[in-house]
Chain A
Amino acid sequence: MTDLTKTPKAPVAQQDRRGIGDAIRAWWDGLSRPAQWAVGVPIIALLALMPLFPPPLLDTPGVSFGGVMAQFAMYALIAIGLNVVVGQAGLLDLGYVGFYAVGAYTVGLLTSPNSPWNQTDGGWLQPGWAWVACLPIAIALTALAGLILGAPTLRLRGDYLAIVTLGFGEIVRLMADNLGDLTNGSLGLSKIAYPTVGESEAHPGGFFSPGNLGDTSSWNPFQRASNGTWWFWLGMVFVIVVLLIIGNLERSRVGRSWVAIREDEDAAEIMGVPTFKFKLWAFVIGASVGGLSGAMYAGQVTYVNPKQFDIILSMLFLCAVVLGGSGNKLGVIVGAFLIAYLPMRLQSVQLVSSESTGYLLLGLDVAMLIGLWLLWRWKKDALATWVRRAVIGVSIVAVIFGLLLFGSVLLFRPGGAQNLGDLKYLYFGIALVVMMILRPQGLFPVRQKLLAYGRQVYQAVVRKPAAESIGAGR
């Protein structure tokens, strides 16, 4: 083939170019288990320390960085749970927020003074242990909700399943809104229990109470941490535990069945996979992780109301999964980070202070973009590789800068957007569309690998011939 086509240079260069992601992946897969832990633990420790000493550019002025990171941890849990349903088993679930709400409302109903089912005030829940005791209840109830929803509807496929789950998500929200005697309607449930750890004179409610703002002058990490940071730490523990459990599930028969169902349900059924059973498993497991996250959320904000669980949030969760790379556990965590972090980061950005400067800069930016585009259009082949890359890079920066400027210009309107954070859905929508056009598989796409004995086989086979594998097999 290569003799006939006689275009040796470009395709080989294409094939030889391995992304930085591939390099990291190969290096990681090459490490032994203990070595992986040896690398992983310091990284986790660094992550845990991040909210204590917010990195300058990453910080979110105006909003507590610890709180943002806590939200990230909750979204990460959600993304991992939803990834089981969407990424692993290939079931499109648009009503995942329903499970999140069930988890949050379980804790709320059992511990809020507004609820008639409140059990902390003389009931069977000790106030000090209420939140911790509610956690397994919330997980169990959400799993039950997953079972109740999944059992009748999982016979449906694809788009039908999507719309039924969407309906379910709405039903949960409307129930929370309408069962006013129980859920306090749209007013919501307040004063929900949270873990009471480390109560002292400095922290009357303990480390996890909303009142704990953290002592930034202290070098003791436990004193320095605000309540958001504590929730982030707790969330990290949950994320790691859930990742271990789900990682093991993935490599088991269950995980292989999920992949088989995702790739071709009919073929899987014919080959003897009880598809309904495993789809239900995926649904229930995904749901219970969502419930765990919901319970955390209820504890952190100590307040739930139906508005917090609308369909838009469900779409955001799905977007976290798809942005990160549906099917890739670590990828979806990055997706969750983007979803949680970017709106908060934008919230404090104010690029220009006067309207005319804004328009001027915007005009310059657009002119530069048009210039770059024309250059690309007509002189693309004459440019050196590094110039081409520079053009692409500068264009991307210019587009992002232009969008931010555009938003800033829009802010000069009385009664309009207050800051760029208000425009988050606008940017988010644009990002989704651009992302789907340019990189539909997500930022960190999943690679299919051998699920049983994966590492051993990979290491036995790939080590030696890796240098010469430029053929069609790649």
Chain B
Amino acid sequence: MTSAASLGVTLLAEGSIDFNVSGVIDQFWRLTVDGLTYGSIYALVAVGYTLVYGVLRLINFAHSEIFMLGMFGTYVGLELLGFAPSGNVYSQGVGLTVLYLGLAMLFGMLVSGIAAVGLERVAYRPLRKRGAKPLAFLITAIGMSFVIQEFVHYILPKIKPGLGGSNAQTGIRLVEPKVQFSFLGAQVTNVALVIIASAVVLAITTEIVINRTKFGRAIRAVAQDPDTATLMGVSRERVIVLTFLIGGLLAGAAAMLYTLYIPTGIIFSGGFILGIKAFSAAVLGGIGNLRGALLGGLILGVAEQYGQILFGTEWRDVVAFVLLVTVLMFRPTGILGESLGRARA
């Protein structure tokens, strides 16, 4: 027994877990920039979870697969545009770069948006018609997530050879990362700039759509009180489809940004961990709350980066989950609380 106890102590003192505090202080700004970049992607995916949860009270576990399909959508789209796997348009001027980036994002959004609406149609609507229990929705979501993954794993390569399958696809690098400027010692690359800027623009757009437009008001109304909203002439079905569509579009955009940042991640199982983390981000900020999802995504992304240096790279995912559990223990409704329904018009 003594050997066991001493081993435990040595493990903490010198073994796998090092507390590299000085590393965090030295690289603070670099980590922050990296964290914000990752966090923007988490935030965009998290919006999809949070909107669906706000309206349907349903964890859409297959949302991570929507994201994964978006990555493939971006890849196929760029291939259709005639890019070699190493194509770099950055040298050909800013205008062209923006154009191609926009097109790539459009492809991702298109695929993800269609997939999200299709998912709702195939899997969730029949359940809703039967008034199924929440557990049934959850199991269906898990089932659909398996089906989509296996579709990409086994059926997609049959339809189009070279696509999908067991090996990871290397994404097409439209923009070669290049340091643009230094921010308090942190090197900010053009890719990080594109990601953060796109995420901010998309987040603001979504916020405006939800808070200012007629559709947004309908979504909030259904989130607040579905029955009264129906009585007031809001079509619940249309709102639900719209919710899935917005979530899917944002997931597709996030997928494109992710492949821009990490081009090696296009694989059938590539959405899983990211999906769980994005969901954690949504819960962290307060699920059902749009701003909460954005805030949660950014916090999770940054915390993960600090934790990664503090404890070691392999503990990165653990940090994310421990953070989630800790926040939920002290504030079970998340940082900002649930409020999609309570938001003012």
Q: Which residues of A contact B (CB under 8 A)?
A: 92, 116-117, 124, 152-153, 155-156, 158-160, 162-164, 166-168, 170-171, 174-175, 177-182, 311, 315, 318-319, 322, 326, 410, 413, 415-417, 422-423, 425-426, 428-433, 435-437, 440
Q: Which of A162, A423, A437 lies in contact with B150, CB distance below 8 A?
A: A423
Name A171's contact: one of B134, B144, B154, B318 (CB within 8 Å): B318
Q: Once the chains bind, are B276 and A429 in contact (CB under 8 Å)? A: no
**A247 vs B154: C-alpha distance in the bound complex, in angstroms?**
43
Q: Is A164 a contact partner of B146 (Cβ separation < 8 A)?
A: no
Contacts of A174 in B (CB 8 A): 314-315, 317-318, 321
Asked whether A167 lies within 8 Å of B321 as measured between CB atoms, the reply is: yes
Q: Which residues of B contact A117 (CB under 8 A)?
A: 3-4, 7
Q: Is B151 an interface residue (CB 8 A)?
A: yes
Identify B325's interface contact among A164, A326, A413, A433, CB under 8 A. A164
Q: Is B149 an interface residue (CB 8 A)?
A: yes
> From residue A218, how far is it (CB to closest CB) to chain B in Å?
42
Number of A-B contacts (CB under 8 A): 149
- Minimal Cβ-Cβ distance residue in A for B317: A174
Residue of B nearest to A439 (CB): B136
CA distance A170 to B155 in the complex (A): 29
- Specify which chain A residues have a CB less than 8 angstroms from the CB of B15 in the assembled complex: 179, 181
Q: Report chain A residues within 8 Å CB of B157.
A: 413, 416
- Asked if A322 meets B140 with Cβ closer than 8 Å, knowing A164-B328, A436-B127, A437-B127, the reply is no
Query: Which B residues contact A (CB, under 8 angstroms)?
Result: 1, 3-4, 7, 11, 15-16, 53, 57, 59, 122-123, 126-127, 130, 132-140, 142-147, 149-151, 154-155, 157-158, 165-166, 272, 276, 279-280, 283, 287, 312, 314-315, 317-318, 321-322, 324-325, 328-329, 332
Whether the Cβ atoms of B280 and A163 lie closer than 8 Å is: yes
Q: A152-B329, A413-B158 are in contact. Are A162 and B138 (CB under 8 A)?
A: yes
Please name the 6 residue pairs, one residue from A and one from B, whose CB atoms are nearest each other, closest first. Answer: A432-B143, A429-B146, A426-B150, A429-B147, A167-B321, A440-B136
Closest to A422 in B: B154
Do the beta carbons of B140 and A433 come within 8 Å of each other?
Answer: yes
Task: State whether A175 touches B318 (Cβ < 8 A).
Answer: yes
B134 CB contacts on chain A under 8 angstroms = 158-159
Query: Would you call A436 and B139 a contact (CB within 8 A)?
Result: yes
Contact (Cβ within 8 A) B154 A433: no
Seed contacts A311-B276, A410-B158, A432-B143; 15 additional CB < 8 Å A-B pairs: A116-B3, A155-B332, A159-B53, A160-B332, A164-B328, A181-B16, A318-B139, A413-B157, A425-B146, A425-B150, A431-B143, A433-B122, A433-B123, A436-B139, A440-B130
* B165 surroundings in chain A (CB, below 8 A): 415-416
A92 and B135 contact, Cβ closer than 8 Å, known pairs A167-B280, A175-B318, A437-B127: yes
Partner of A163, one of B149, B272, B324: B324
Determine whether the beta carbon of A160 is less than 8 Å from that of B11: no
In the complex, the answer to whether B146 meets A410 with C-beta atoms within 8 Å is no
Q: What CA separation (Å) do A213 and B10 show in the bound complex?
A: 43
Chain A residues, Cβ within 8 Å of B135 = 92, 322, 326, 440
Tell me if A171 and B143 are in contact (CB < 8 A). Answer: no
Q: Do the beta carbons of B144 and A426 come within 8 Å of each other? A: no
